[in-house]
Structure 1
Amino acid sequence: MNSLNDVKNIVINTLQLGEHAAHFDENTFLLGSLAELDSVTVISVITEIEEFYGLKFDDSEINGDVFATLGSLAATVDQKLSQIQ
């Protein structure tokens, strides 16, 4: 499964980044690079991902490495999805 486009849209919509984020790809840095992404909005992004995919993340599964790039976030979602299929 490749969730990159869906995760990208969730991040853009949740953080209200608008059109300037349309060029985001798997190498786009997130945590520490986007002023809109902080501890509160990380929770919002995770909540939106959980609702979109019907997943549940444990707190221990969420860390800075997961939110390093858009690609690392999508890879985490893909890994989680592969565990339920």
Structure 2
Amino acid sequence: MTEPDTVDTTLRALLADVLGLGEDRAAALTADSGLFGALPEFDSMAVATVLTEMEDRLGILIDDDEIDGEIFETYGNLLAFSLRKIGE
């Protein structure tokens, strides 16, 4: 089982890489930080790349029917989804 802190660190690095946020902006994300629609870098094209990278870096499989807009509303939602998938 992967530790929540490790998942958090991995997810921040992933967002920094995929969205080009840089380490400082990624580190500043809080549970309430908006993602899709709030970050100009996080557009519909970035969603597929983020999901693919999540599967690769976190060792999870994400089915299309598991994805909804709520997951990408905030960083906290994305982290909670990732932790839930790892726990499966």
> TM-score category by the smaller chain?
0.7 to 0.9
Task: Tell me which amino acid in the other structure corresponds to 1:10.
Answer: L
Higher relative contact order (CA 8 A, sep 6+): 1
TM-score by length of 2: 0.85
Aligned length in residues: 83
Does the Cα contact within 8 Å between 2:13 and 2:23 map onto a contact in 1?
no
Find 1:59's aligned residue among 42, 64, 74. Answer: 64
- Aligned CA-pair RMSD: 1.3
TM-score by length of 1: 0.88
Deviating 4+ runs (over 3 angstroms): none
Task: Using the TM superposition, give the Cα deviation of residue 5 of structure 1 relative to its aligned residue in structure 2, in angstroms.
Answer: 2.3
Task: Using the TM superposition, give the Cα deviation of residue 54 of structure 1 relative to its aligned residue in structure 2, in angstroms.
Answer: 1.6
Tell me the distance in 2 between the aligned counterparts of 1:78 and 1:19.
21
Does the Cα contact within 8 Å between 1:4 and 1:26 map onto a contact in 2?
no
Identity value in percent? 34
